[in-house]
Amino acid sequence: MRDYFYTLAEELNALLRPGEVYTCLLEGEDSDFVRLNRSRVRQAGHVTQRVVSIDLIEGRRHATGSCNIGGNLEQDRAVLAELVATLREQRANLEEDPYLLYAGEVHNTEDVRESALPQGGSAAREIAAAAQGLDLVGLWAGGLLYRAFANSLGQRNWYQTANFNFDWSCYLAGDKAVKSNYAGFDWDAETLAGRMDRVRRQLEVMGRSPKTIRPGRYRVYLAPSALQEILQMMSWGGFGLKSHRTRQTPLLKMIVEGKTLHPSVSLCEDQAGGLAPPFTDSGFIKPARVTLIENGAYEDHLVNTRSSAEYGVPVNAEGEYPQSLRMATGALAEADVPAQLETGVYINNLWYCNFSDRNDCRITGMTRFASFWVQNGKIQAPLNVMRFDESVYRMLGERLIGLTRQDEFIFDSDTYHQRSTGSVRLPGALIDDFTFTL
């Protein structure tokens, strides 16, 4: 497909008129999907799709559009010619774009990442075996993902990876369930079995009489999947150059007042370790790592092309929201979490999160799925749903006790138009005086 895409790029060159420039992005996948319910396969299939997006530029006017390609050169040539003609017609009616920016220097790259994946049928059999006796519902998605870029200046970039993401829940009764996830590049049946055993242990606790606690402040442990919800909210305008320059960031106090988080908190956009391609849709090469927060202090921004054109800062990201967020680990052993909690709440998942005070980076939300009451260092009972309201400056600042040594690689499970290339890699967090409001 790489060579075929480069052939199409040459075909696009032949369609240009004097003074025109194009940028072209290919998004493709060869994916297996397996949907399970009650631990049985209910739907299985394979998807192959290749979408080409073109930005046709003349001066500061440009128009963008996309089309599917099928691999037949004669047919695809005709589809591309029709798309270019349509974009040229649209562009004539558009105003100049003062923030138009695309890579003007040619940087050719090739990044092919190795992996070891099963076919969907093989994965389904191993999942069914590991989940025997459980009421499991979930989706397994895996296979090849590739992205490519070309422009009329001669730049060519290819990125290819293969990965899997199994996202599932095991239902007990009523509103009681345990949610889990296993994602990566190298499938391992033993790792899956270990995670399924952990689900079984948590389901045993879920079968006990649930506990309701009074609103107040408690010591809590946020598992990586729960911490992800907090950081997703924090990232909503938290790291983009535009939101900082316009003072709309929820991290405003870090910028204006010099407020810091706990010294153990370091966050980066880990391009080299994530799933997203190492180049932007407009041809800029992303740095392998952008340090966002270092030892609790704000460090750098994510800058897309439009902010780069407006503020004169180099491009370092496709968008101004992290695609490959990574948090540094700490010293707390995951096995020691209940003992370190002593008496408090173990939270696996959060939901319905939103800002309650954006300027203070204060977030409210609900506990969900397997959250437990811990007493004297031992998990005692499932916790009925609680609402929290807490500032990131407290959670990851003055009230943070520690982060786990182990982290978890969590892939975005979105498959609405195509498999997502978003990911996070996070430890768990032990926090004191965490506020529950009802």
Domain assignments of the chain as residue spans, ordered by start: 2-204, 216-436
**Residue 335: helix, strand or coil by DSSP?**
helix
The answer to whether 379 touches 365, Cβ cutoff 8 Å, is no
Q: Give the β-pairing of 156-173 and 136-151.
A: antiparallel
Cα distance between the two ends of the chain: 55
Q: What is the DSSP track for 179-216?
A: EEEEEESB--HHHHHHHHHHHHHHHHHHTSPPB---SE
Both tokens of 372, joined, read 């437990």
The predicted structure's pLDDT at residue 174: 82
Q: Hunting for tokens 């963008």 — which residue is that?
A: 64
Helix (H), strand (E) at residue 232: helix 224-235
E strand spans, 73-208: 109-112, 136-151, 156-173, 176-184
The predicted structure's pLDDT at residue 203: 95
Verdict on whether the full-model pTM lies above 0.85: yes
Both tokens of 362, joined, read 């204060």
What string of pLDDT tens digits covers the 438 residues of the chain?
Answer: 999 999 999 999 999 999 999 999 999 999 999 999 999 999 999 999 999 999 999 999 999 999 999 999 999 999 999 999 999 999 999 999 999 999 999 999 999 998 888 877 888 899 999 999 999 999 999 999 999 999 999 999 999 999 999 999 999 988 889 999 999 999 999 999 999 999 999 999 999 999 999 999 999 999 999 999 999 999 999 999 999 999 999 999 999 999 999 999 999 999 999 999 999 999 999 999 999 999 999 999 999 999 999 999 999 999 999 999 999 999 999 999 999 999 999 999 999 999 999 999 999 999 988 999 999 999 999 999 999 999 999 999 999 999 999 999 999 999 989 999 999 999 999 999 999 999
Cα angle: 326, vertex 327, 331; to 5 degrees: 140
- In whole angstroms, what is the distance from residue 356 CA to residue 371 CA? 22
For domain 2-204, say whether CATH 3.30.70.20 is its number. Answer: no
- In whole angstroms, what is the distance from residue 289 CA to residue 273 CA? 9
Rounded to 10°, the helix 2-15/73-91 angle is: 50
- In whole angstroms, what is the distance from residue 326 CA to residue 88 CA? 41
- In whole angstroms, what is the distance from residue 83 CA to residue 132 CA? 51
Contact residues for 87 (Cβ-Cβ < 8 A; gap 6+) = 54, 56, 63, 64, 65
- In whole angstroms, what is the distance from residue 77 CA to residue 7 CA? 10
The predicted structure's pLDDT at residue 369: 87
E strand spans, 81-131: 109-112
The predicted structure's pLDDT at residue 182: 95
The predicted structure's pLDDT at residue 118: 82
Between the CA of residue 304 and those of 283, 379, 423, what are the distances in Å?
12, 46, 19
